[in-house]
């Protein structure tokens, strides 16, 4: 996490889309392998904070830049995907805890 957050923060505006796509792709591919809920919780929170910041920037550009609204919609979709992944992580962790309790 010490590397991911600063790396995302230091992206230039023209790199936001590629950085977001890479983050979403990694999360979608690997959330089924959840073993460390704290890691995923932190990663998803970093991602949601990153995307929320981009949405704030893009919303200020609507009306000034011709494609800002379309870009805003893309990032809003990414944020929704991260929120869904966060909910899945919480559900999977809860189900794992319940299964572990039943075994004991």
Whether residue 103 has pLDDT greater than 90: no
Distance CA 75, CA 28 (A): 16
pLDDT score of 38: 84
Where does the pLDDT of residue 94 fall: very low under 50, low under 70, confident under 90, or very high at 90 and above?
A: confident
- Three-state DSSP string of 23-43: HHHHHHHHHHHCCCHHHHHHH
pLDDT for position 34: 64
Query: pLDDT tens digits for 23-64?
Result: 999 888 887 666 778 888 899 999 999 999 999 999 999 989
Domains of the chain, residue spans: 4-103
What pTM was estimated for this model as a whole? 0.82
How many residues are given for the chain?
104
């Amino acid at each position: 996490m010490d590397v991911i957050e600063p790396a995302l923060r230091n992206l230039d505006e023209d790199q936001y889309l590629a950085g977001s796509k890479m983050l979403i792709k990694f999360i979608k591919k690997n959330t089924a392998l959840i073993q460390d809920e704290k890691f995923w919780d932190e990663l998803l929170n970093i991602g949601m904070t990153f995307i929320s910041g981009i949405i704030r920037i893009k919303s200020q550009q609507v009306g000034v830049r011709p494609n800002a609204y379309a870009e805003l919609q893309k990032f809003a979709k990414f944020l929704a995907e991260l929120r869904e992944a966060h909910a899945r992580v919480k559900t999977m962790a809860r189900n794992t805890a319940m299964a572990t309790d039943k075994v004991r």
